[in-house]
């Protein structure tokens, strides 16, 4: 009788253990699935949403970062499920994808770079090796700004103007349409200004040139110079 009792008890214990293990496994599956679903996230905003005023208003930051950027990230996370990009990093996806995945990956990366290029009371001049390279290649910082602004103003439609470097540190200014990023040309992005109307229309309406001129006063040159 005792033996049967023990047998039953140990059976019960095994069952409990089995069901515990199964529920653990289910939790794990759930966690893995969730972590895939939640793969990419926006970069954290390194300042308050009103910190860039009056150059970029709180309302524009809230819409641009909170809605536009979030939508690119959400779309990307949905689109990569079941594709070869499911476990790839963002840079790899930008380099190797096309179509909708490229558009949303490019915009996710572009906005991560963009929103971390600013700070409250920023501005001033580039630092260290980036400053030297800009002076050497463009003649002066002012000359570089003029060329960069001109590229941004003359870009037709939506897109980005980029300062990029090649493997030897040579700088170039690129005009990219839509979600374009210098990575697809084998270059490293250093600084990008968003010239999609959503980045300035509430604050500057059609005056893109005025917006681009003002952006220089909120650049975080510590962050941007470190990308060079």
Distance, in Å, from the CA atom of 33 to the CA atom of 198, rounded to the nearest integer, reads 33
Report d(CA 34, CA 223) in Å as an integer.
32
Smallest distance, Mn ion to C-beta of residue 39, A: 21
φ, ψ of residue 133 to 5 degrees: the values are: -65, -40
Return the range that interacts with Mn ion (CB under 5 A); candidates 15-23, 37-45, 138-146, 192-200: 192-200
Judged by CB under 5 A, does residue 201 bind Mn ion?
Answer: no
Instruction: Return the number of the residue (194 or 214) whose C-beta is nearest Mn ion.
Output: 194
Contact pick of 47, 196, 201, 216 for Mn ion (by CB under 5 A) = 196
Residue 60 vs 77, nearer CB to Mn ion: 60
- Cα(62)–Cα(209) distance, integer angstroms: 22
C-beta closer to Mn ion: residue 97 or 199: 199
Count of H helices and E strands in the chain? 10, 3
> Is the CB of residue 199 less than 8 Å from the CB of residue 215?
no
The smaller minimum CB distance to Mn ion, of residues 97 and 112, is found at 112
In a 3-state reduction of DSSP, which class is residue 80?
A: coil
Binding of Mn ion at residue 194 (CB under 5 A)?
A: yes
Least distance in Å: CB of 124 to Mn ion?
24
Contacting residues toward Mn ion, per CB under 5 A? 194, 196, 199
């Amino acid at each position: 009788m005792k033996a049967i009792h023990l047998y039953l008890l140990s059976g019960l214990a095994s069952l409990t253990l089995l069901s515990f293990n199964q529920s653990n496994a289910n939790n794990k599956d759930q966690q893995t699935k969730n972590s895939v679903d939640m793969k990419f996230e926006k970069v954290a905003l390194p300042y308050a949403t009103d910190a860039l005023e009056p150059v970029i208003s709180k309302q524009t930051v809230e819409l641009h970062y909170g809605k536009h950027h979030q939508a690119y990230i959400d779309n990307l996370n949905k689109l990569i499920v079941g594709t070869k990009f499911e476990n790839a990093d963002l840079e790899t996806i930008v380099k190797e994808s096309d179509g909708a995945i490229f558009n949303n990956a490019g915009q996710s990366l572009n906005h991560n770079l963009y929103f971390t290029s600013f700070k409250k009371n920023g501005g001033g001049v580039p630092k260290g090796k980036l400053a030297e390279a800009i002076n050497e290649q463009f003649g002066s910082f002012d000359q570089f700004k003029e060329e960069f602004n001109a590229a941004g103003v003359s870009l037709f439609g939506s897109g980005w103007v980029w300062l990029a470097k090649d493997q030897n540190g040579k700088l170039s200014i690129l005009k990219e349409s839509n979600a374009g990023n210098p990575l697809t040309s084998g270059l490293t992005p250093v600084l990008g200004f968003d010239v999609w109307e959503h980045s300035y229309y509430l604050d500057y309406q059609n005056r893109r040139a005025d917006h681009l001129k003002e952006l220089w006063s909120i650049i975080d040159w510590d962050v941007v110079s470190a990308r060079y």
